[in-house]
Amino acid sequence: MRPDDRKYLETHEWAKVTGDIALIGLTDFAIHELCSGNEGDLVYCDLPETGRTLEVGETFGEIESVKAVADLSSPVEGEVIEVNEAIEDHLEILSSDPWEQGWMVKIKLTKKSMDHLIDAETYESMLAKQS
């Protein structure tokens, strides 16, 4: 079961909200799909600059493996206040710890509604139907 302390987009991004700050990352499922379980297959991650304002669903970057490129979509609306620069140099963090150290951006929320996101149980059910 994925962590239930965050909400998920159907495109496999997650948001963990504390107050008016959201940590954003990519689920273990998406990372596994990109690299087939081989963390060495991840080759590039492009993340936004701080200060950028994002809308829900807006592409804020991309991640690339030897077999695919995937856009990263924002699950929340707000301003990017911090980028996890460690990821850009150490993509293996995404495979080893996508839930804590593997966060991608920190966003100061301008809209706190999370009604468009799904909980961990619903996300798990969605994945089960896809397989």
* Each residue's pLDDT tens digit, 57-73: 999 999 999 988 999 99
Which pLDDT score is estimated for 36?
A: 74
How many Cα atoms sit within 13 Å of 7 on the Cβ side? 14
Quote the mean pLDDT of the chain.
93
Rounded CA gap, 25 and 128, in Å?
Answer: 21
Residues whose CB is less than 8 angstroms from the CB of residue 58 and which lie 6 or more positions away in sequence, other chains included:
73, 74
Domain boundaries, the chain: 7-114
The pTM of this model reads 0.93
Biggest CA–CA distance in the chain, Å, is 38
- What CA–CA distance (Å, rounded) separates 111 from 105? 17
Calpha distance 29→63 (Å, rounded): 14
The architecture that CATH gives domain 7-114 is Beta Barrel (2.40)
